[in-house]
Chain A
């Protein structure tokens, strides 16, 4: 085959794949709406919350950057078997998470995952963080900063972490390592009003990368 023809075929295949992904995302968006997902999740950025009341009015996490936050295989599997991530009900300090997220059939889960993974934020730089059990990251997470006070994390010690934040057990399969770093670095972009302290100005950029790599190593 002549190189020119091969190139044309490759380009056509690429275009077809891109068009198919767009079609899948569009079908997923329709399924997301039809499934009443919008009752708890908003998917159009930027962040809308200005006051604490805005945050407390929400009944589920914002998903407008879901494609930057999650790992696709985890998301598709979770939608079919949605075990609680947060020990407590969203925005509650007194009620346990009832674990009542709707369970999706495989086809809907795949379609909605296509849609959610198309929602990306340009505040997440790709390829920056590689998961690593770095001692500095562990030191900051477990000793220097209060991360474990609110987040469950994998450890053999009796104290497994607090309950007010989402559990970080399994974060290595669930979260995009680059998003973890971006979430620490660009607080206001993703969650302008949150119960977690702002660490910009308290942790250096290097330290944030250590913490992100450490959290991304959690099984």
Chain B
């Protein structure tokens, strides 16, 4: 086996789980969050009609998303909108998703906004 092949095998063995995890998070995002936030995270999910009581957060807006820390995101995902004085239309997912799943969703959201968020 050449050094290049060995390197490829090592990279693949290290890289594959990460790729799979990212794909899994995207599936999770599209299943739970996209209903309101949209498949691309623009806040335009199928529930959002003109008379929808709130505007779900546009995750692709770095300007908006940089106002929030990761801890802010975690709180609102786990405990719902009212926990941060926002709309109850944002459900509390704390009994549905594990903390690890929420952390993974936050990483996905940070990819969507291409931003690191407010540093807290």
Q: How many pairs, one residue from A and one from B, have CB atoms within 8 Å of each other in the complex?
A: 74
State the Cβ distance, B86 to closest chain A Cβ, in Å: 11
Does A52 lie within 8 Å of B31, measured CB to CB?
A: yes
What mask results when residues 23 to 50 of chain B are scored 1 for a CB within 8 Å of chain A, else 0?
Answer: 0000110111011100100000111110
Report the Cα distance A130→B9, complex, angstroms: 63
Does A197 lie within 8 Å of B89, measured CB to CB?
A: no
A170 located at the interface, meaning its Cβ lies under 8 Å from any Cβ of chain B in the complex? no
Q: Which residue of A lies closest to B79 (CB)?
A: A202
Does B95 lie within 8 Å of A53, measured CB to CB?
A: no
What mask results when residues 197 to 219 of chain A are scored 1 for a CB within 8 Å of chain B, else 0?
Answer: 11111100000000000000000
Report the Cα distance A207→B92, complex, angstroms: 16
A176 located at the interface, meaning its Cβ lies under 8 Å from any Cβ of chain B in the complex? no
Does A163 lie within 8 Å of B27, measured CB to CB?
A: no
What mask results when residues 3 to 31 of chain B are scored 1 for a CB within 8 Å of chain A, else 0?
Answer: 00000000000000000000000011011
Does B46 lie within 8 Å of A162, measured CB to CB?
A: yes
Q: Which residue of B lies closest to A201 (CB)?
A: B95
Report the Cα distance A10→B91, complex, angstroms: 54
Does A145 lie within 8 Å of B47, measured CB to CB?
A: no
B53 located at the interface, meaning its Cβ lies under 8 Å from any Cβ of chain A in the complex? yes
A13 located at the interface, meaning its Cβ lies under 8 Å from any Cβ of chain B in the complex? no
A119 located at the interface, meaning its Cβ lies under 8 Å from any Cβ of chain B in the complex? no
Given contacts A197-B95, A202-B92, contact A146 B52 (CB under 8 A): no
Main secondary structure of the interface of B (DSSP, over half): loop
Name B49's contact: one of A163, A197, A199 (CB within 8 Å): A163
Does A146 lie within 8 Å of B45, measured CB to CB?
A: no
A118 located at the interface, meaning its Cβ lies under 8 Å from any Cβ of chain B in the complex? no
Report the Cα distance A197→B80, complex, angstroms: 11
Name B32's contact: one of A88, A94, A144, A195 (CB within 8 Å): A195
Interface residues of A in 115-166 (CB under 8 A from B): 143-146, 148-150, 158-160, 162-164
Most buried by B among A87, A158, A162, A200: A162
Most buried by B among A149, A163, A164: A149
Report the Cα distance A52→B18, complex, angstroms: 19
A19 located at the interface, meaning its Cβ lies under 8 Å from any Cβ of chain B in the complex? no
Hey, which chain A residues are within 8 Å of B52, CB to CB?
Answer: 149, 159, 162
Interface residues of A (CB under 8 A from B): 52-53, 55-56, 87-88, 93-94, 143-146, 148-150, 158-160, 162-164, 195, 197-202
